[in-house]
């Protein structure tokens, strides 16, 4: 039965061993664990302790650890290596991971390390693709079959080229120009008759990914069509790499986390173990933006200061109207942002969504407006107050529904990540409308409220 280790306990344990000088014990423990766990533990130690352990591990073990670290941890971990040692470690890594790691270095450092590597020719081409493109997440193309090969030749080819390969999903078939012409799965090869050729058993109708496709679109394809692996081709149709579903799982987790954090107005590289300065960098700027928008919204309240001075109880109901409008707008906005991210909603059907959300906003507004109006009437014994609260809520929730659709779709149309900036705009507009409608109505009907 699989058991997840408790990361914090494990870090404390290794820390204690190192303080007690029991280096061998700590190394033995790390070797015993899955590299994903050892990598997390290492990342949680002090730099001096990391350095002690790094000296005890061989390049292959270190390669396994780097493979499992996220970008920021790996970048911090790199400081323990000189060019030569790092090149030895990178030579043990999968080329796509090695390229990601080199991407964390300054360009001149990366090229110095690359010069020392034996396998630099597999890694260097990967460095040219943007990190968040298909090229950035793909692995280099495996050795490809030719269509005229016999089944026996294909078996020999696999023995020769795939002995140390990672998991193999499919074999790829290319023509003399390296253009992809088909794929063969291992099961088909095992089931094939000895007189057949690769051409007889290959699938020709191959779904391919262009090397410059965005990683989010790649992830959407895998998830929509339940794919395991897809070949990546350049603009001439030449096979340049392969993306497997396990690379996509990481992208999906990353993108979901990024959207969740953006909706909550936190920088995407936050996590619970970030240093205090990094956390402040990820959060404080957003709070200042919010301060600015809150001040803008409060100018609406300031405009009605004399109304509040006359009927102070308005200040009690004002936040309720603003909060409920904000919540309703946030519901709509979140569904729209997630649907845009999952590819379920497009700009083409935004109008249909808008019409539906307006109906929902109106119905929510009628229900909540009526309820809250009755509460206000009963609480303060003033039917006019109840009517104003109800009408303000109706207006605010209807506008909130419209905002919740229009803001993210407009941002998407402008090429801005809707998750990133929607909350700020939706909240600000909702607050202003909520305060404005409620206090405006109250000012107009002031005589009935006194």
Q: According to CB under 8 A, which residues from 28 to 67 bind its own copies? A: 34, 36
Shortest distance in whole angstroms from residue 387 CB to its own copies: 17
Q: Which of residues 152-211 bind its own copies (CB under 8 A)?
A: 155, 158-159, 162-163, 165, 167-169, 185-187, 189-191, 207-210
Q: Which of 20, 24, 28, 284 binds its own copies (CB under 8 A)?
A: 284
Alpha helices, H only, 117-227: 120-123, 134-137, 151-161, 186-191, 198-201, 215-225
**C-beta closer to its own copies: residue 110 or 449:** 449
**C-beta closer to its own copies: residue 20 or 249:** 249
**C-beta closer to its own copies: residue 197 or 257:** 257
Shortest distance in whole angstroms from residue 335 CB to its own copies: 6
Shortest distance in whole angstroms from residue 106 CB to its own copies: 28
Q: Which of 55, 58, 214, 271 binds its own copies (CB under 8 A)?
A: 271
Q: Which of residues 120-159 bind its own copies (CB under 8 A)?
A: 155, 158-159
Q: Which of 56, 150, 290, 410 binds its own copies (CB under 8 A)?
A: 290
Q: Which of 180, 198, 202, 301 binds its own copies (CB under 8 A)?
A: 301
Task: Decide: 130 and 138 in contact? Cβ < 8 Å.
Answer: no
Angstrom distance (rounded) from CA 321 to CA 390? 9
Pairing of strands 139-140, 229-233: unpaired
Q: Which of residues 245-264 bind its own copies (CB under 8 A)?
A: 245-246, 248-250, 252-253, 256-257, 259-261, 263-264
Shortest distance in whole angstroms from residue 334 CB to its own copies: 4
Angstrom distance (rounded) from CA 392 to CA 386? 10
The number of residues that bind its own copies (CB under 8 A) is 123
Q: Is 297 in the site for its own copies (CB under 8 A)?
A: yes
Angstrom distance (rounded) from CA 183 to CA 174? 9
Q: Which of residues 324-363 bind its own copies (CB under 8 A)?
A: 324, 327-328, 330-331, 333-336, 338-339, 342-346, 348-349, 352-353, 356, 359-360, 363
Q: Which of 13, 323, 410, 443 binds its own copies (CB under 8 A)?
A: 323
Angstrom distance (rounded) from CA 280 to CA 271? 12
Stretch that binds its own copies, among 17-25, 49-57, 137-145, 214-222 (CB under 8 A): 214-222
Q: Which of 20, 28, 316, 416 binds its own copies (CB under 8 A)?
A: 316
Q: Which of residues 365-384 bind its own copies (CB under 8 A)?
A: 367-368, 371-372, 375
Angstrom distance (rounded) from CA 208 to CA 206? 6
Shortest distance in whole angstroms from residue 377 CB to its own copies: 13
Question: What contacts 78, CB < 8 A, 6 or more positions away?
Answer: 86, 101, 104, 105
Shortest distance in whole angstroms from residue 223 CB to its own copies: 5
Question: What contacts 91, CB < 8 A, 6 or more positions away?
Answer: 59, 98, 117, 118, 119
Q: Which of 75, 149, 199, 286 binds its own copies (CB under 8 A)?
A: 286
- Site pattern 420..449 for its own copies (x: CB under 8 A): -------x---x---x--------------
Residue 211: which region, alpha, beta or left (left: phi > 0; alpha: psi -120 to 50)? Answer: alpha
Cα angle 42, 43, 48 (rounded to 5 degrees) comes to 70
Please, which contacts does 27-33 make with residues 24 or more away whose CB atoms are closer than 8 Å? 27/53, 27/56, 27/57, 30/57, 31/61, 33/5
Pairing of strands 209-210, 229-233: parallel
Helices (H) and strands (E) in the chain, counts: 23, 6
Task: Decide: 301 and 442 in contact? Cβ < 8 Å.
Answer: no
Q: Is 294 in the site for its own copies (CB under 8 A)?
A: yes
**C-beta closer to its own copies: residue 66 or 435:** 435
Angstrom distance (rounded) from CA 81 to CA 152? 46
The H or E element containing residue 387 is: helix 383-413
């Amino acid at each position: 039965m699989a058991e997840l280790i408790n990361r914090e306990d494990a870090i404390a344990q290794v820390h204690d061993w190192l303080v007690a000088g029991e280096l061998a014990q700590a190394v033995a423990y790390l070797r015993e664990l899955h590299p994903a766990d050892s990598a997390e533990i290492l990342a949680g130690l002090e730099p001096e302790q990391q350095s002690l352990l790094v000296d005890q591990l061989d390049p292959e073990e270190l390669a396994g650890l780097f493979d499992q670290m996220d970008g920021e941890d790996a970048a911090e971990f790199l400081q323990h290596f000189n060019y030569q040692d790092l090149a030895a470690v990178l030579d043990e890594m999968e080329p796509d991971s090695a390229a990601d790691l080199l991407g964390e270095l300054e360009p001149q450092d990366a090229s110095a390390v690359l010069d020392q590597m034996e396998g630099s020719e597999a890694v260097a081409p990967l460095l040219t693709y943007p990190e968040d493109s298909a090229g950035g997440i793909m692995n280099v193309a495996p050795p490809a079959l030719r269509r005229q090969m016999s089944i026996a030749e294909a078996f020999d080819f696999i023995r020769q080229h795939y002995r140390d390969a990672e998991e193999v999903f499919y074999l790829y078939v290319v023509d003399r120009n390296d253009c992809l012409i088909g794929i063969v799965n291992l099961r088909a090869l095992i089931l094939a008759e000895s007189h057949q050729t690769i051409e007889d058993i290959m699938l020709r109708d191959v779904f391919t990914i262009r090397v410059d496709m965005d990683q989010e679109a790649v992830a959407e394809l895998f998830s929509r069509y339940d794919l395991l692996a897809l070949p990546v081709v350049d603009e001439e149709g030449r096979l340049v790499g392969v993306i497997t579903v396990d690379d996509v799982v990481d992208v999906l987790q990353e993108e979901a986390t990024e959207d969740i954090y953006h909706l909550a107005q936190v920088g995407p590289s936050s996590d619970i173990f970030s240093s205090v300065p990094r956390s402040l960098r990820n959060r404080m700027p957003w709070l200042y933006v919010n301060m600015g928008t809150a001040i803008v919204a409060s100018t609406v309240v300031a405009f009605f200061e004399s109304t509040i001075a006359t009927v102070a109880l308005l200040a009690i109901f004002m936040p309720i109207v603003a909060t409920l409008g904000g919540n309703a707008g946030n519901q709509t906005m979140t569904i729209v942002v997630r649907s845009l991210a999952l590819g379920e909603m497009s700009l083409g059907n935004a109008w249909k969504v808008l019409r539906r959300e307006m109906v929902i906003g109106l119905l929510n507004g009628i229900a909540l407006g009526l309820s809250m109006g009755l509460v206000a009437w009963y609480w303060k014994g003033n039917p006019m107050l109840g009517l104003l609260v109800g009408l303000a809520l109706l207006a605010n929730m209807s506008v909130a529904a419209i905002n919740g659709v229009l803001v993210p779709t407009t941002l998407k149309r402008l090429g801005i990540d809707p998750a990133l900036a929607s909350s700020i705009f939706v909240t600000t507009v909702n607050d202003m409308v909520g305060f404005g409608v409620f206090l405006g109505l109250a000012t107009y009907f002031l005589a009935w409220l006194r």
